[in-house]
Structure 1
Amino acid sequence: MTLSNAVVFITGANRGIGLEFAKQALARGARKVYAAARNPDTITLDGVVKVRLDVTDAAQVAAIPVLYPDVTVLVNNAGIARFGGFMDEGSEQSTYEHFETNFFGPLRLTKALAPVLAANGGGAILNVLSVVSWLNAPALAPYGASKSAAWALTNGLRLELAAQNTQVSALHMGFVDTDLTTAIDAPKTKPADIVARAYEGMAAKQPEILADELTQQVKAALSSDKAHYLIGNR
């Protein structure tokens, strides 16, 4: 799926990797880019159509296909990431909030826009996931669980939407150099590099896009005796 003449709907498009998705969509020839955020006033990029959207608000999501019936590409990017483990105080609420945005958000948007994509020839969906789709650690436990679930969601949607010719891709990456990771002391990839690999992967019809070296290594090691998700086990 190429972006030339596409109509792209991007959630969480006001900053970080979402903003970069919008920039590169325009640069790659998209006919129109819908940039969605809870507060559209925070979207400063010229050339996009600003959309008010909270992906946890079912009523707002339900209005999307009526208001934007020309969408051909959906980028489910909106997400939250908070530090904490499963045994921490308040972990149940944290896990609930992560799933509301990171799992149910993409599910709601996909169900809302799938008929629109079908009517427009099938189109494509990109779900922004993470290397922690395949591993977990106390620093980001609820976040990791939500991304693991979103990976399963993506794989299921790929099968369910194949009949309507909708391409469904998962984007996995490690830490990206955005404001969300400023407190993390670890190697980070530039948003521009991640997004470029994502769009190139979509153009190549890749069902799973591994956007950095760390992610490639972790995925390759999943079937080994010392798989990364077994770190800490004895």
Structure 2
Amino acid sequence: MNINTSVALVTGANRGIGKAFVEALHQAGAKRIYATARNIDSLKDIVAIDPERIIPIAIDITNPDSITTAAQSLQDVNLLINNAGVLGTGGFFNSTSLETAHWEMETNYFGTLYMIRAFAPILKRNGGGAIANLLSISSVVNVPVFGSYSASKAALYSLTQGARAELAQQGTLVVGIFPGPVDTAMSDGVPLDKVPPSQIALATLQAVEQGIEDVNPDPVSQEVFAGIRQDPKAVEKQFAGMLPQ
């Protein structure tokens, strides 16, 4: 699909990669961009870039009623970018591990599932369109310092594959993006080289235009996937070594 003829919806658009997506869509000439976040007031800065083309919408992706209400009025969407997500810390065995795991799974997996279910019929009516899901290198290898986050992103990877299969008949492209560490507030303290959010957004939009299903948008991502193809157990052990001794 052509980005300059798209009507896009971006979740978690108030900061980080989501904000970079809105900026990249605007620069690429998208006809309309629905910038969404739980708190609509947090979108003021991004909307100020172009209030006529960037429209703020309140969506809580963990609340199906919130999504349904928004979808009823956003019938022109043909590009859905599922960016919103959360990241906890602490591994699997501290006192808040279960609460953290539920929070991450409800947002990163179920929230994206809710969005896809609500907007897939709209995409179908608009010719198929595309869905882009923000995954992670932790979708394919567990990063133990973010264990349950990794599990939620692995679930999202499986969802992405399943949605791709089920939506192929309606002509919907489903893209998975697998960044390594990105220079956002969410990745503070991650001891790896980071890339700017704009790099993720631009690589994703290029993939959508070219019909590419899986995107490795940065050197860390490319290295991890190359390592998995060669020796997945070695990659697992490498990341296990991140745990403090």
Post-superposition shift, 1:214?
1.2
Post-superposition shift, 1:230?
4.2
Report 1:216-231 matches (<5 A): 216-225=222-231, 226-231=233-238
Are residues 1:135 and 2:102 paired? Answer: no
Aligned partner (choices 154, 158, 161) of residue 155 of structure 1: 161
1:27 corresponds to: 27
Runs (5+) with no aligned partner, structure 1: none
Cα distance in 1, alignment partners of residues 236 and 191 from structure 2: 21
User: How far does the alpha carbon of each residue in 1:134-172 deviate from its partner, in whole angstroms, 9 at most, with x for none?
Assistant: 111331011100000000000000000000000000000
Are residues 1:37 and 2:37 paired? Answer: yes
How many residues in Structure 1 have an aligned counterpart in Structure 2?
233
2:183 corresponds to: 177
Cα distance in 2, alignment partners of residues 195 and 168 from structure 1: 15
1:80 corresponds to: 86
Report 1:43-82 matches (<5 A): 43=43, 44-45=45-46, 46=48, 47=50, 48-82=54-88
1:106 corresponds to: 112
More helix per residue: 2
| TM-score, structure 2 normalization | 0.91
Runs (5+) with no aligned partner, structure 2: none
Post-superposition shift, 1:113?
0.4
Cα distance in 2, alignment partners of residues 128 and 38 from structure 1: 18
Aligned partner (choices 168, 186, 190) of residue 196 of structure 2: 190
Quote the sequence identity (%): 36
Cα distance in 1, alignment partners of residues 226 and 234 from structure 2: 9
Cα distance in 2, alignment partners of residues 81 and 34 from structure 1: 24
Q: Secondary structure at the match of 2:145?
A: coil
Cα distance in 1, alignment partners of residues 98 and 105 from structure 2: 11
| TM-score, structure 1 normalization | 0.95
Cα distance in 1, alignment partners of residues 152 and 118 from structure 2: 21
- Say whether the 8 Å CA contact 1:135–1:144 is kept in structure 2: yes
Cα distance in 2, alignment partners of residues 223 and 129 from structure 1: 18
- Say whether the 8 Å CA contact 2:57–2:70 is kept in structure 1: no
Q: Which amino acid aligns with 2:236?
A: Y
User: How far does the alpha carbon of each residue in 1:94-151 deviate from its partner, in whole angstroms, 9 at most, with x for none?
Assistant: 1110010000111000000001000000000000010101111331011100000000
Cα distance in 2, alignment partners of residues 216 and 10 from structure 1: 25
Cα distance in 2, alignment partners of residues 168 and 101 from structure 1: 19
2:172 corresponds to: 166
1:7 corresponds to: 7
RMSD, aligned α-carbons = 1.4
